[in-house]
Amino acid sequence: MVKVLITGGAGFIGLHLAERMLKDGHRVVICDNFSRAVKDPEFLQLADHRHCEMIEVDLLDENSVYSLGVDFDLIFHLAAIIGVQHVLAQPYEVLTKNVVILQNVISLADSQKNLSRFLFASTSEIYSGTQQQFDLTLPTPEDTPLAVGNLHHPRTSYMLSKLYGEAMCLQSRLPFTIFRPHNIYGPRMGLSHVIPELCKKIYHCKISQELEVYSVKHTRTFCYVSDAIEQLVRMSDLPKCEGKVLNLGTSSPETTIGDLALTILRIANRKDLSIKQMPATSGSPERRCPDMTITSELINFSSEVSLIDGIQQTFNWYSERVFKAGGISSK
């Protein structure tokens, strides 16, 4: 039986990944410090699975990390200080702690007896410096030259921690795969992201109230979480993905945030609401769209869930479990 370690495993992508790994018959160890993740019904249900172990651990503590063991076949390193609000509030901690966490987990990975792959979650923010200072190719391929953005801006600290993390993986002796997630969304991702945030605003808006939408002309491509997990699983399985840096996401359709809001309005049947255009969010790129050619060719898979179907599933989940029932959500 394959044994899998998922750091940050109680978070959005981590829990969906753990569910898939258990479904595939693997043994899963989830470690998290629960600084952002929550022990909601989905988490508790997963914790009861006979092949799943939950460990609350501080990944900044080297001894605690080493205590996780040396018998993992796969390690998915998802843990980091992330989220715009958190990054803006503590840029120095983001820059330093994300690197220390990765250093500890790489050391753990290096001590494994039969590790087949170490998968590191980088970020689409890796392209932000190039976009700020040069003409960024869109959709953006993985071999795009990378530039550093404004070092005075707190948001740059997150990108730098991931850029340095990629270099650490590249220079390690590990059988690694680096993946750069682009706007993954779906149930249980927390409310501080554009799709669930708009879902919440629309659900709670009073009749004929204006819906405030920021960065309405900015464009994104969105990847539903089940498609992202399928990509991750295939990356971890296929030998030809070892040593690669790969985009994770979907390349179409590219939609404006304004049109995204209109789509959610239709799904929520809120024809009574009108959109009030607000200023663009500081530091938010005007466009973000990954070139998925290399990833799709390597793993023989492209995203299957349409944007409308994905948003419908996401809106239904939040409406029933969080907005209506008052359930908890990730921070």
The tens digit of pLDDT for each residue in 181-198 reads: 999 999 999 888 999 999
pLDDT tens column, 99-117: 999 999 999 999 999 999 9
Contacts of 134 (CB under 8 A, 6+ apart): 145, 147
What is the tens place of the pLDDT at every residue in 197-213?
999 999 999 988 899 99
Q: What percent of the chain has pLDDT over 90?
A: 86
**Cross-sheet strand order for the sheet of 74-77:** 52-56, 27-32, 3-7, 74-77, 117-121, 176-181, 245-248
- Distance between CA 142 and CA 247 in Å, rounded? 7
Whole-model pTM: value is 0.96
| Average pLDDT score over residue span 117-132 | 96
Residue labelled with tokens 């466009």: 287
Give yes or no for a contact between 165 and 98, defined as CB atoms under 8 angstroms apart: yes
Specify the CATH class of 3-184+225-249 in words.
alpha beta
- Interval 316-330: pLDDT, tens: 999 999 999 888 777
Domain limits, the chain:
3-184+225-249
Per-residue pLDDT for 254 more than 70? yes
> How does residue 244 score in pLDDT terms, banded at 50, 70 and 90?
very high
